[in-house]
Amino acid sequence: MKIELKKISFNERMSEETNCFVADLFINGKKVGYAKNDGHGGCTDYHGDSPENNKVIREAEAYFKTLPKVKAKDFDFEYQPSLEDAIDQQLEDFLKAKEIKKMEKHMVNAILFGVPNGHSYTMIKYKVPLATVPKAILQAKVAKIKAEDCQNGVQILNTNLTALGIQI
C-alpha cells in the first residue's frame, strides 16, 4: 500500500511537541483527503473528502492491522504499524529531504559539522565559495575543526570537500 503526502504545509513556529502541518493524503496514487497535526502533542488526524474516499481510508487502516508488529527504535517494545505512522513517516521523510537540500546549499560557502542524522549542526561560513578558498587554508581549518570539535559522534558533514581536494 502506497501512502503519500502532497502539498505539505509545515509550520515550524507552531510545532510544539509534534510537527504542525497539513497536507493532501494520497493512497495508492489517488487523493483521498487530507492529514494534519496541530503541533500540540496530539495524534495526526486524517479525513477523507467523500464517502468513497473514507472507505479507502478504512481499507488502508485495516491493511496496516494485518502487518507484523515492529520493534520500536531505541526501545524494548513492539507496536502495530498504523496509517497514522505511515503518514508521520512521510512527513519526517519530507522534512529530512528539505533539510538535506538546505545543508547542501550551505556547503558551497560553509563547513558544516555535527552528528550525522542529528537535529542540529554548526556552520563556519565563508564570504566566498569554498572552491575559491586556498586549499592549504581550507585544509588547516578542517584539521582544526576535527581536532577541537569532532568528538562524541560529531563529524564534518560536507560532502563537497573531497572533490575540492580536502582530506577529511
Confidence of residue 118 (pLDDT cuts 50, 70, 90): confident
Confidence of residue 123 (pLDDT cuts 50, 70, 90): very high
Does an H or E element contain 35, and which?
Answer: strand 30-37
Q: What is the DSSP letter of 46?
A: E
Q: Which long-range contacts (CB under 8 A, 24 or more apart) does 113-116 make?
A: 113/145, 113/149, 113/150, 113/154, 113/155, 113/156, 113/157, 114/154, 114/155, 114/157, 115/152, 115/153, 115/154, 115/155, 116/153, 116/155, 116/157
The neighbouring-strand residues paired with 113 are 122, 156
Largest CA distance in the chain: 66
- Across the range 134-159, mean pLDDT stands at 96
Which of 49, 2, 40, 4 has the alpha carbon at shortest distance from 21? 40
* Beta carbons of 90 and 10 less than 8 angstroms apart: no
Question: What are the tens digits of pLDDT across the range 68-115?
Answer: 999 988 888 999 999 999 999 999 999 999 999 999 999 999 999 999
* CB half-sphere exposure, 65, CA atoms < 13 A: 6
Phi, psi of 101 (to 5 degrees): -60, -40
| Helices marked H in 32-168 | 51-66, 83-107, 135-149
Question: What are the tens digits of pLDDT across the range 47-76?
Answer: 999 999 999 999 999 999 999 999 988 888
* pTM of the predicted structure, to 2 decimals: 0.82
Residue 37 has pLDDT above 90, yes or no: yes
Residue 162 has pLDDT above 90, yes or no: yes
Confidence of residue 120 (pLDDT cuts 50, 70, 90): confident
